[in-house]
Amino acid sequence: MKNAGGAEDRAMAAKMLSAEANPSAAAASGAADDELRRLHVFISYATEDRVLAQAVNSALKFAFGPAIIRTTLDSELKLGENWRSELEDALRDSDVLLIIASGRNKQSHSYTGYEVGFFVASKLVKKQMRHFDSERLIIPIGVLARIPETLSDIEGLNLTEELAPFLVDEDRLRDREQFLASIEADSRNPFTKLFERLQDVVGTRYRDRSFLEDFREKGRESATQLYGKFFEDFQNRVFTENFPERKIIVRFREDAPVDNLGDLRPDTTLEFIGESFQIFKINPPPEKIVSWEKFIKRIPHGETSTEWADIIKSLVITAKQNDFSENRRLLASSDGKQFFRLFVARSVVYWSGVTELHIYVVEVKSRDYGDPTTTMLLKAIQVGLIYRSLFLEGRSSEFSPETIQFTLPQDLPKAVRKLLQELDYVIWMSNDAGLSQAQTIGLIYPGWKKGMLEERFKQWDALRSSLTSSGLKVLGAKREDLEAAKSEFEDRLALFCSATLPMNNEFLSNVLLLLERAVKKGGGSPLTSPKPRMTKPKTGGSQPRRLPASVKARDRRHPRG
């Protein structure tokens, strides 16, 4: 490509001055781009960086003028019906893809990655700029020392060293004067580099020194204005963010059909934030985001996968129906030692039609009350009575065979879902109370002989496993299979309740006797209480049995005849 010089530059300068004075007339000219040979810069950014992108757009127009540069903001093309084709046409025509990446947390999920990919593909067809002696360029501007995901993606394109992201030290963002002074003195600062690079491109066609010097002066002025604009915008930026709790962000299309018996769309995504999810035997990918389809394939099959799939799906249904009365799910860790409450803390719908659900996973923790044994007895009574009220009190119990019998098949999955989580919660309460510890078992069941413990726990595990297995079949059943699944579940539940009723009676009776002993003793721990006050007869003779004080008092009041 030949370069213009001398008289041609001066003629072009006159045209540019005319265009600056009347930009609308220049733009209205049908052959404006070919005549003025403008540099086309496409500015790509996430919604969160709109203010910064608009500031860069204004600064470029000020520095170069409408006769030299033409800019396109991607947001300008996303309003019409044919926005995607217009977007691709603009990318195909552009000379420079300028990407603004501030390092903010991106919530809008912009098309930045798509735009980069399309521009790179278009370079395979058209490598050179139309009016300037340069290859078409990708110029990323990163503004923080931590490279955002967008820039990390761009680095993967193997950009040349001089186009590597320009970064600003975060520590300079605390004081405006320090920020402005330091960045203006730094030859590596992003905006000066941006203008210099574009001036080099423009200089391949326009050689007049005074003309180019005017560009440089306006570039420095524009860069200074941009520093202040970026500083102001960054004051509203999150500096640090911690997630002491686990959180899952579910994203799905608002128009996605989901019901109690349906499934989520495969393109639904889950993002895992905060503490490790290994406690649930879940290993999210390094990028922390996974599609619903891949998530189901990754987690261990069986009870774990069914529970997680059901929990997330039920919370999505809750949000879509805008009915948060059932906004609570309970889930035990894989080892059963910890228990967690899952609930939707935030629901967001974007103009794009994407819905975000922020689901928090918060550990449930119990409270101890003074003496360890008193605490254990309190929790034990709570465990026994909660279990009894859930399953063993006929139609007044939410999950008794009598209640489930009159539950409609289409309502059964919801009832079973709640039954299983409440059962898991009671079991966790039992473990948390220490009821599985040898010393506690010996205290509650002092009369058990050898082998009775193993027999009882084997029976309990078989009953629970059978009920859980049948319940999971209900949750995974198709609509037409629900009636058969309900019949099987009713049978398993009836057997479960009839077999555990005497277990619950014995457990509660023994615990209440221990509590009575502790109350009568007036303090101290039943674990260390003395044996019953009985004396052994001496050899060769006998001694009268020592009566309790209460019996002596009764005899004094009512003498025997």
pLDDT band, very low/low/confident/very high, at 92 (cuts 50, 70, 90)? very high
More reliable by pLDDT, 467 or 372 = 467
Pick from 296, 295, 311: nearest CA to 344: 311
Residue 257, token pair as written in the block: 């059909």
Question: To the nearest whole number, what is the mean pLDDT of the chain?
Answer: 76
Q: Please give the backbone phi and psi of residue 273, each rounded to the nearest 5 degrees, phi first.
A: -130, 145
Question: Residue ranges of the alpha helices (H) in 433-481?
Answer: 438-444, 452-476
User: Mind giving me the DSSP string for 316-328?
Assistant: HHHHHTT-GGG--
Q: Please give the backbone phi and psi of residue 139, each rounded to the nearest 5 degrees, phi first.
A: -120, 110
User: Using CA atoms, how far apart are residues 407 and 417, in angstroms rounded to an integer?
Assistant: 13
Rg (CA), the chain: 37
Written as one letter, the residue type at 289 is I
User: Using CA atoms, how far apart are residues 379 and 435, in angstroms rounded to an integer?
Assistant: 9
Is the CB of residue 260 less than 8 Å from the CB of residue 316? no
pLDDT band, very low/low/confident/very high, at 169 (cuts 50, 70, 90)? low
pLDDT on residue 183: 64
Is residue 240 predicted with pLDDT exceeding 90?
A: no
Written as one letter, the residue type at 334 is S
Is the CB of residue 16 less than 8 Å from the CB of residue 36? yes
CATH class of 7-234: alpha beta
Q: What is the pLDDT of residues 299-349, one digit of tens each?
A: 766 566 667 877 888 888 878 777 777 777 888 887 778 888 888 888 888
CATH architecture of 246-364: 2-Layer Sandwich (3.30)
pLDDT band, very low/low/confident/very high, at 63 (cuts 50, 70, 90)? confident
User: Using CA atoms, how far apart are residues 165 and 142, in angstroms rounded to an integer?
Assistant: 5
> 322 burial class (0-12, 13-18, 19+ CB within 10 angstroms)?
exposed
Residue with tokens 């037409």: 480
Which secondary structure element, helix H or strand E, spans residue 265, and what is its range? none
User: Using CA atoms, how far apart are residues 320 and 333, in angstroms rounded to an integer?
Assistant: 27
pLDDT band, very low/low/confident/very high, at 156 (cuts 50, 70, 90)? very low
Question: Residue ranges of the alpha helices (H) in 69-172?
Answer: 83-93, 112-125, 149-155
Looking at 178-192, 255-269, 306-320, which range is the least confident one?
A: 178-192
pLDDT on residue 147: 42
Q: In sequence order, what E strands does 135-231 have?
A: 137-142
Domain residue spans in the chain? 7-234, 246-364, 372-527
The strand pair at 246-253 and 269-273 is best described as antiparallel
Q: What is the pLDDT of residues 45-57, one digit of tens each?
A: 877 778 888 888 9
Q: What is the mean pLDDT of residues 118-127?
A: 91
pLDDT band, very low/low/confident/very high, at 502 (cuts 50, 70, 90)? very high
For a pLDDT cut of 70, what percent of the chain falls above it? 71
pTM of the model: 0.53
Residue 294, token pair as written in the block: 């891949």
pLDDT on residue 5: 44
Is residue 30 predicted with pLDDT exceeding 70?
A: no
User: Using CA atoms, how far apart are residues 432 and 340, in angstroms rounded to an integer?
Assistant: 13
Residue with tokens 């540099």: 39
More reliable by pLDDT, 75 or 70 = 70
Looking at 176-180, 189-193, 347-351, 527-531, which range is the least confident one?
A: 527-531
User: Using CA atoms, how far apart are residues 515 and 517, in angstroms rounded to an integer?
Assistant: 5
Q: What is the mean pLDDT of residues 102-112?
A: 51
pLDDT on residue 459: 95
Written as one letter, the residue type at 344 is V
Is the CB of residue 219 less than 8 Å from the CB of residue 17? no
Contacts of 65 (CB under 8 A, 6+ apart): 16, 19, 20
Q: What is the pLDDT of residues 442-499, one digit of tens each?
A: 999 998 999 999 999 999 999 999 999 999 899 888 888 899 999 999 999 999 999 9
Tell me the β-bridge partners of 357: 250, 347
Is residue 15 predicted with pLDDT exceeding 70?
A: no
Written as one letter, the residue type at 287 is E
Which secondary structure element, helix H or strand E, spans residue 303, and what is its range? helix 303-320
Q: What is the mean pLDDT of residues 80-106?
A: 78
pLDDT band, very low/low/confident/very high, at 394 (cuts 50, 70, 90)? very high
Is the CB of residue 507 less than 8 Å from the CB of residue 448? no
Residue 529, token pair as written in the block: 């209480």
Residue 75, token pair as written in the block: 């947001």
pLDDT band, very low/low/confident/very high, at 282 (cuts 50, 70, 90)? confident
Contacts of 509 (CB under 8 A, 6+ apart): none
Q: What is the mean pLDDT of residues 412-441?
A: 90
pLDDT on residue 419: 94
Find which of 209-218, 245-254, 540-549, 552-561 is predicted with most confidence, using mean pLDDT.
Answer: 245-254
pLDDT on residue 466: 95
Is residue 34 predicted with pLDDT exceeding 70?
A: no
Q: Please give the backbone phi and psi of residue 360, each rounded to the nearest 5 degrees, phi first.
A: -90, 145
Is residue 514 predicted with pLDDT exceeding 70?
A: yes
Residue with tokens 């955002």: 148
The strand pair at 69-73 and 354-364 is best described as unpaired
Task: Find the helix packing angle between 190-203 and 209-234, rounded to 10°.
Answer: 150
Q: What is the mean pLDDT of residues 521-543?
A: 46
Pick from 168, 96, 83: nearest CA to 128: 96
pLDDT on residue 421: 87
User: Using CA atoms, how far apart are residues 389 and 396, in angstroms rounded to an integer?
Assistant: 8
Q: Taking the CA of residue 508 as centre, how many other CA atoms within 13 Å lie in the half-sphere pointing to its CB? A: 15
Residue 258, token pair as written in the block: 């989901």
pLDDT on residue 387: 96
Question: Residue ranges of the alpha helices (H) in 343-411?
Answer: 372-391, 401-405
User: Using CA atoms, how far apart are residues 327 and 314, in angstroms rounded to an integer?
Assistant: 9
Tell me the β-bridge partners of 341: 330, 362
User: Using CA atoms, how far apart are residues 186 and 172, in angstroms rounded to an integer?
Assistant: 12
